[in-house]
A = this chain, B = another copy of it.
């Protein structure tokens, strides 16, 4: 079992910069989190961009699609900001054989209390079992990407009405 992790930024990778008193997207956290969890599958981490997903463009999404299409692996985990996760997912349909699971977090992985570890685990658990397609794993649920939306006020993902 081998997974390609494509990282696009988002809250999960945010760090705090004291010198500007603000948060920005830092290095991908998925590698350190996998080490802490002592995972035994093979994986490679490919950092494609480090963006707050509110700032992602169609060009960014085309780039992510190109990287997924070019991947030798069929199991693709994408860490991504939550605000436009479904928009990027919509750009990844029609890639035969690929199992693509998006995840991210509402609280940065560097916080003492965070959903990052759990979400990443949930995405990995589903990724190795699901048939090809595009999915979002958030709040402990695994959704087909077309069936889910972010409820911003409640800070969670929900089925579309």
Binding site for B on A (CB under 8 A): 1, 11, 14, 16-21, 23-24, 33-34, 36-41, 52, 54-55, 81-83, 106-108, 110-115, 117-130, 137, 139-142, 152-153, 155-158
- Flag if B38 contacts A156 (CB, 8 Å): yes
Chain B residues with CB under 8 Å of A115's CB are: 36-38
Copy tally for this chain in the complex stands at 4
Q: Smallest CB–CB gap between A21 and chain B, Å?
A: 5
Nearest B residue to A151, CB-CB: B40
Q: A1-B141, A18-B83 are in contact. Are A38 and B112 (CB under 8 A)?
A: no
A81→B21 CA distance, assembly (Å): 10
Chain B residues with CB under 8 Å of A114's CB are: 36, 112
Nearest B residue to A109, CB-CB: B112
- Flag if A40 contacts B140 (CB, 8 Å): yes
Q: Smallest CB–CB gap between A56 and chain B, Å?
A: 11
- Flag if B21 contacts A52 (CB, 8 Å): yes
